[in-house]
A = this chain, B = another copy of it.
Amino acid sequence: MQDPITSDIPNKEQKEALVVFQPSGKRGRFAHGTNVLDAARSLGVYIESVCGGRGICGRCQIEIAEGSFAKDGIQSHQDHLTAFSEKEKRYSELRDLKDGRRLSCSAQVQGDLMVDVPQDVQINAQVVRKRAEVLHIKPDPSTRLITVSVEEPDMHKGESDASRLLQALRQQADLRHLTLDPSLFAKLQTCLREGKWQVTAAIHQDRETDPASVIALWPGKRPRGYGIAIDIGSTTIAAHLCDLSNGRAVASSGTANPQIRFGEDLMSRVSYIQMNPGRLPDLVKAVRDAVNVLITKLAGQIGLAPQDILEAVIVANPVMHHIFLGIDPVELGGAPFALSISEAQNIAARDLSLSLHPAGRVYVLPCIAGHVGADAAAVALTEVPYQSDETQLIIDVGTNAEILLGNKDRLLAASSPTGPAFEGAEISCGQRAAPGAIERVRIDRQTLEPRIKVIGIDHWSDEPEFLEEIDKVGVTGICGSGIVEVIAEMYLSGILSSDGVIQPHMAERSDRIEADGRTHQYCLWDGAVPLTIKQTDVRAIQLAKAALYAGAKLLMEKLGVTQLDRIKLAGAFGSFIDPDYAMILGLIPDCSLQVVSGVGNAAGTGAHKALISRTARREIEQAVHDIEKVETAVEAKFQEHFIDAMAFPNKVDPFPLLRSQRELPAFEAMTQENSNKPRRRGGRRARGRAS
């Protein structure tokens, strides 16, 4: 990656290297010799440092991800940092510096680097916006605690400790087959004697047909068992620790998915694995380690040891599902997109190297199809469309859109390759939803002046308090909800035509619209770093929303409906994108706005539900089995719908219900002479972006 002209000249100052920081993904070129902490700060990457770079506080730790990162075009290696310094040696002698960790205040850039900022040392790091919902279902967990008095040994009867324990439990729990997990063999004797022949056993039985098993034992009485519901997203991992006796969440937390260092989006991770054979175990370990950190953290919050947690439920998209289970996800990267495992799994924690109780059980929800994962199943479990009289459309947008459509008679599922535009990626000034990101936009219909709202600041930009507070976070980019709003507002105010062209003649009305080569752009924020919406940004959103709409429309045709009773928007998409704007842009089918709603973190809620209810597990297993899977990639109609859906709100669908509630520009069919007609990238978007 070195400049061939300068690479022979031993002048360090002239050499530059590309440094990418994860999980933020921020990157920049830096002269050799730059220390990594300075590089991070110059990019606005948050690395804590309390001691002023003297190598004392140890908060500025980083790790280098090794290997070839095709997307970024770099080869990252440990030895692209200067050797271990005296400061680092001293720190690692006094404190504990894990293998592979460096102090960024001391290590200097000597070549291209993929820098991982570990979450465990960051105290003020990002807060994951996923909270536990309160569930109103009767707890019926797979694992329950039973305290029994066990007969003392009697040499006339000669029955073993295990026999007497199991007999007592079988009677009390009304179970026929009950076995003792091998991990308890060594402690059974002492448990019984310490508890003076009274013990509490955790009994696990998921299906009625499964033999029940004692998976944990404590001397004496123990009132509560705990489980953890874990939602492994592409960028964040969120978990709720729950009391299994009453089903309530008692602690929640999240962390960044450390796999970001192997690729920002899922397809990059898949290609990392393809290009770095043998590195799959690193990815597997990274995600399991992160889950273990969460488990330990949540257990600690209520004074438990990780081994006190008896159950976990995992939901994840197909790629993360596979990596978590140790399965190579490359088959998900190309047709026929074959899942290796889709059925629900129930695995001992020790077999997944999770730090729960070693015999604790990990229930993994079933995947629906190659691009419709266990996370979508969890959404279905929360929203129960399969029990509904109403015909519901449920959409969860991550990097892919997962779409469920139907009612109690028939339920269809598909995914649509929206790409990450709705998350702020692929947008020139886009960023993740984080402090500093523009999340709301209004454009004055006359002056075309925008008002914005920024994450981290409670006021709109035309309120005086905004200026007082803006220095705290800055205005750093635009996130998913912001990009949807600005495009919709540009369309509503006439800056955009219904076919998505930034109108040149509008430049006459406002300086904010200006030429940008052969196209035009709209200046949304004219601060120190101006933020503009370019024609390519509009195109990215058109492609994404067309894919989403085409998927939904295809399913409606399959189901034979033209009208929906309800539209539910799940996940971050549903929580932060305004349904009005989503419909104005034509992301979702025409519908009365009153029946469109965000349903929050439905995947996490589904995991929680499966954690505390066996009934829920059987229910979703059956539902997933019954769901009709539609593969959009092979449906000719999808292409047609996709092209029609490029227009705002749509080229052929008039959206009468929307128009009855909101004033839109007149319905105009897209004309053939439109010079800037959107090009389809390679016919159809690259597939394989599992959500």
- Of the residues B158, B182, B338, B347, contact of A182 by C-beta under 8 Å: B347
Nearest B-chain residue to A318, judged by Cβ: B160
CB contacts under 8 Å to B, within A214-256, are none
The stretch of A107-115, A132-140, A325-333, A562-570 in contact with B is: A325-333
CA distance A327 to B185 in the complex (A): 6
Q: Does A159 contact B (CB under 8 A)?
A: yes
How far in angstroms is the closest Cβ of chain B from A358? 9
Docked-complex contact B185 and A325, CB < 8 angstroms? yes
Docked-complex contact A161 and B326, CB < 8 angstroms? no
Q: Does A128 contact B (CB under 8 A)?
A: no
- Of the residues B182, B328, B336, contact of A154 by C-beta under 8 Å: B336
Q: Does A186 contact B (CB under 8 A)?
A: yes
CA distance A337 to B152 in the complex (A): 12
How far in angstroms is the closest Cβ of chain B from A326? 5
Nearest B-chain residue to A183, judged by Cβ: B351
Docked-complex contact A629 and B183, CB < 8 angstroms? no
How far in angstroms is the closest Cβ of chain B from A442? 43
* A interface SS class: loop
Docked-complex contact B336 and A162, CB < 8 angstroms? no
- Of the residues B158, B180, B340, B634, contact of A185 by C-beta under 8 Å: B340
Query: Could you say which residues of chain B place their CB within 8 Å of the CB of A7?
Result: none
Docked-complex contact A370 and B158, CB < 8 angstroms? yes
Query: Could you say which residues of chain B place their CB within 8 Å of the CB of A369?
Result: 158
- Of the residues B154, B162, B210, B342, contact of A211 by C-beta under 8 Å: B210
CB contacts under 8 Å to B, within A143-160, are 153-160
CA distance A159 to B328 in the complex (A): 17
CA distance A629 to B341 in the complex (A): 49
Given that A155-B633, A327-B186, A328-B189 are known contacts, is A341 also in contact with B209, CB under 8 Å in the complex?
no
Docked-complex contact A629 and B157, CB < 8 angstroms? yes
CA distance A337 to B155 in the complex (A): 7
CB-defined interface of A588-632 with B at 8 Å, one 1/0 digit per residue?
A: 000000000000000000000000000000000000000001010
CA distance A352 to B183 in the complex (A): 9
Docked-complex contact A160 and B338, CB < 8 angstroms? yes
Query: Could you say which residues of chain B place their CB within 8 Å of the CB of A162?
Result: 339-343
CB contacts under 8 Å to B, within A346-369, are 347-348, 350-352, 367-369
Given that A182-B351, A351-B182 are known contacts, is A367 also in contact with B189, CB under 8 Å in the complex?
no
Query: Could you say which residues of chain B place their CB within 8 Å of the CB of A155?
Result: 335-338, 370, 631, 633-634
Docked-complex contact B153 and A188, CB < 8 angstroms? no
CA distance A328 to B335 in the complex (A): 55
Docked-complex contact A342 and B631, CB < 8 angstroms? no
Q: Does A345 contact B (CB under 8 A)?
A: yes
Query: Could you say which residues of chain B place their CB within 8 Å of the CB of A631?
Result: 155-156, 158
Q: Does A196 contact B (CB under 8 A)?
A: no
Q: Does A509 contact B (CB under 8 A)?
A: no
Nearest B-chain residue to A635, judged by Cβ: B156
Query: Could you say which residues of chain B place their CB within 8 Å of the CB of A210?
Result: 211
* B-binding residues in A (CB < 8 A): 153-163, 166, 177, 180, 182-183, 185-186, 188-190, 207, 209-211, 325-328, 331, 335-343, 345, 347-348, 350-352, 367-370, 629, 631, 633-634
What are 30 residue pairs bridging A and B, where the CB atoms are less than 8 Å apart in the complex? A153-B336, A153-B338, A155-B370, A155-B631, A155-B633, A156-B634, A158-B337, A158-B369, A158-B631, A159-B339, A160-B367, A161-B338, A161-B339, A161-B340, A161-B341, A162-B341, A163-B342, A163-B343, A166-B343, A182-B352, A185-B327, A185-B341, A186-B328, A188-B340, A188-B341, A189-B340, A190-B328, A207-B211, A211-B211, A350-B351
